[in-house]
Amino acid sequence: MANPYTGPFEPQAWRGAIWSITSVFESGSPEGDPACYQNYDAGIVSYGKHQTTLQSGILSLLLDDYFVHSQNPTSQALQQEYAERTRQRDPSLRNDTRFRDLLIQAASEKAMVEAQDRIFDRYFYQPAVEKARQLNVRSPLGLAIVYDNRIQGGLTTVQNAVIARLGGNIIGQNNLEEDEWIAVSLDEREAYLNRIADRAEAEGRTSDANALRISTYRVRSLHALAEAGNYTLTGTFQVHGHTVKGLSPEVFAPKVSNSQLIRLGDEQINLTVRDTVFAALIRFVNTGTTTWSENFKIAYVGGADASPLAWEIAFDLAEVASFLSVPPGKGTDLAIQMEVPKQAGRRYRTVWQLQDEQGKWFGERFSLEVVVSS
């Protein structure tokens, strides 16, 4: 199967299913256990749905985020008693039962659950997405493999081994197809885990060695999904004895961008040459099936004049929208600031329309008339 998936690369739409797989591996359930805690390996203390570790410094970043969003007694106790020690990655925290108990208590708070999601997305998922783009990974399973490898560690070493074995690791180059890249990446990851387990054994770290050898089940679970041909992670499937609810087929349906004009602040604006700038106010609702992101634009289509009423002919929604992103069924207000034409006694008419990430026009056009007097 040379091309297991040829659709668009949509990591945000796939994140839930991908995180469910890693949640099984890291905290024992597809939903993820924000209170999951362990202190038996090289991470010193590992905590949360996907296990931030004290040794890596990410646990300290998680707590800092939590402190910003929670002022309850658990948060205050962790901040006062343990903030500095976590920043210093104090190894004695491995056996600090009060620290353990406070972390577990914090996991009952929405603030901690949301902090974990933000930290895992910022420091693990988004970098994994960027790495997948560099490798030209296209499928949900391919991205799940990159993300889980980044969470567990050793991604760079594994991909270097893929290069050594295949002469490259960029899918689409040197006749490398994604199904082969997946199979070889998983083989090399299992070999890497066994190598570092052997090293730990030789150094007398028997518990670390055992944990590493046991963790190879992650690779076998991902191999099983590839062998089943479920590169899109659709339907329900088994991961290490747990039933995971995968992606709905609707996720892969063709996406359509559309909009409806709800209100234009003033269809005609009267100005004088003494004015320098003015704002056009427009309200749209998203009536399509795509989410409008910061890469969407509102752009000048044309008008009675050869040039628009501004130096710019397109505005990123990130600059002019009242809020982003805009999912299907929701709306946003746009406020576009433009320069006033300098020639009085004229009526200027311009036409505008939304553009998607690829620069394709969609939705209703709207016109704006400006009358300039002396």
pLDDT in tens, 323-361: 899 999 999 999 988 787 777 777 777 888 999 988 899
Mean of the per-residue pLDDT values for the chain?
A: 91
pLDDT at 83: 97
Instruction: Spell out a b/e string for 229-248, using b for 16 or more CB atoms within 10 Å of the CB, else e.
Output: ebbbbeeebebeebebebbe
CA distances to 91, 351, 355, 365 from 292, rounded to whole Å, are 46, 20, 10, 17
Tokens of 362: 């969609």
In the chain, where the domains are located:
11-252, 259-373
**Under DSSP, is residue 160 helix (H, G, I), strand (E, B) or coil?**
helix
Amino acid, single-letter form, for residue 102: L
Between β-strands 46-47 and 346-355, what pairing exists: parallel, antiparallel or unpaired? unpaired
Q: Mean pLDDT, to the nearest integer, of 23-35?
A: 96
Eight-class DSSP state of 60: H
The answer to whether residue 229 scores a pLDDT higher than 90 is yes
d(CA 369, CA 374): 17
Tell me what pLDDT residue 367 has.
84
Pick the CATH number of 259-373 from 2.60.40.10, 1.20.59.10, 3.40.190.10, 3.30.420.40: 2.60.40.10
**R_g (Cα) of the chain, nearest Å:** 26
SS3 61: helix
Q: What confidence score (pLDDT) does residue 310 get?
A: 47
For the cut 70, the answer to whether the pLDDT of residue 267 exceeds it is no
Q: Mean pLDDT across the stretch 303-329?
A: 76
Half-sphere exposure of 177 (CA within 13 A, CB side): 8
Determine the Cα–Cα distance for residues 21 and 41; give it in Å rounded to an integer. 21
Task: Kindly report the number of other CB atoms within 10 A of residue 354's CB atom.
Answer: 26
- pLDDT average, residue stretch 219-227: 97
Residue 6: predicted pLDDT: 86
Distance CA(289)–CA(254), nearest Å, equals 9
Cis peptide before 325 (omega within 30 of 0): yes
Percent of the chain exceeding pLDDT 70 equals 95
Q: Measure the CA–CA gap between 222 and 23, rounded to whole angstroms.
A: 13
Which has more pLDDT, 336 or 90? 90
What are phi and psi for residue 365, nearest 5 degrees?
-85, 155
d(CA 215, CA 25): 8
Token pair belonging to 217 = 């089940």
Q: How confident is the model at residue 2 (pLDDT cuts 50, 70, 90)?
A: low
Question: Which residues are CB-neighbours of 358 under 8 A, at least 6 positions away?
Answer: none
Q: Where are the beta strands (DSSP E) in 166-220?
A: none
The pairing of strands 361-373 and 268-272 is: parallel
Residue pLDDT, tens place only, 101-140: 999 999 999 999 999 999 999 999 999 999 999 999 999 9
Give DSSP secondary structure letters for 101-112.
Answer: HHHHHHTTSHHH
Contact call for residues 129 and 11 (beta carbons, < 8 A): yes
Q: What is the pLDDT of residue 374?
A: 76
pLDDT computed for residue 50 by the predictor: 96
What is the longest distance spanned by two Cα atoms in the chain?
Answer: 88
**pLDDT at 350 (0 to 100):** 80
For residue 326, the model assigns a pLDDT of 93
**Minimum mean pLDDT range among 79-88, 99-108, 138-147, 287-296:** 287-296
Residue 105's Cα: distance from chain center in Å?
A: 27
Q: Which of 171, 169, 225, 164 is nearest to 191 (CA)?
A: 164
Q: Any residues with CB less than 8 A from the CB of 347 and at least 6 apart, and which? A: 304, 369, 370, 371
Residue 308: pLDDT above 50? no
Among 129-143, 216-230, 286-300, the minimum mean pLDDT is found in 286-300
Res 311: pLDDT:
46
Q: Which of 64-68, 217-221, 339-343 has the lowest mean pLDDT?
A: 339-343
Q: Which pLDDT does position 303 carry in this prediction?
A: 62
Give me the residue label for tokens 């190894």. Answer: 91
Q: Is 154 helix (H, G, I), strand (E, B) or coil?
A: coil
Exposed e or buried b per residue across 68-105, where buried means at least 16 C-beta atoms within 10 angstroms of its C-beta:
eebeeebbebbbeebeebbeebbeebbebeebbebbeb
